[in-house]
Amino acid sequence: MNHLKTPIANEDLDNLNVGDQITISGTIYTGRDAALPQLVELIKENEVPFDLNGSVIMHTAFSEAGIAPTTSSKVEIESTIPFLSENGVKIHIGKGMLSDETAESLMKNNSVFVITPPVAALLTSKVIEKKCVLFEWEGMEAMYELKVENIPGIIAIHKGEKI
């Protein structure tokens, strides 16, 4: 088991391989269909109010029921992964299968895709704090900053390889 702490450095990913089990602690961000395309626009306008370098984004909404990954291959989500990786996001957490093109962009930017169990009770129990940081009008699909302890996952795409 590899234990990672945010922010993620390139060196943190060097010794990881597809299939490795990890945990992530520290600050992560949430985003899915409604938020991620808007985040891309804010990056283009240089208006993101937090540092994305070494960041982790989990493809999820945050509701009273908690968090659980959504399907990352949705066009609104997968289409943002290359640009977000180019702009500092090191780990994308979600579920499902991504295209070969997305895998190539992850490799080019030394970023990874991590799958996590879609078990809301487990994942929500790992959240220590939450606060809305962007797109509050999107309700549960707003972007949240979460302080987490040991979010579990498996490296699904890294170094051009897929699980």
pTM of the complete model: 0.97
Asked if residues 16 and 155 have their Cβ atoms less than 8 Å apart, the reply is: yes
First to last CA, the chain: 17
Q: Give the residue carrying structure tokens 């500092």.
A: 88
| Cα–Cα dist 28/151, whole Å | 10
Place of tokens 């597809």: 18
Task: Give dist(CA 58, CA 93) in Å, integer.
Answer: 4
Element (H, E) at 38: helix 35-44
Compute the mean pLDDT over every residue in the chain, rounded to the nearest whole number: 97
Residue type, 161: E
4-59 pLDDT, tens digit each = 999 999 999 999 999 999 999 999 999 999 999 999 999 999 999 999 999 999 99
pLDDT score of 64: 86
Position 65 scores a pLDDT of: 87
What span, in angstroms and rounded, lies between the C-alpha atoms of 61 and 83? Answer: 20
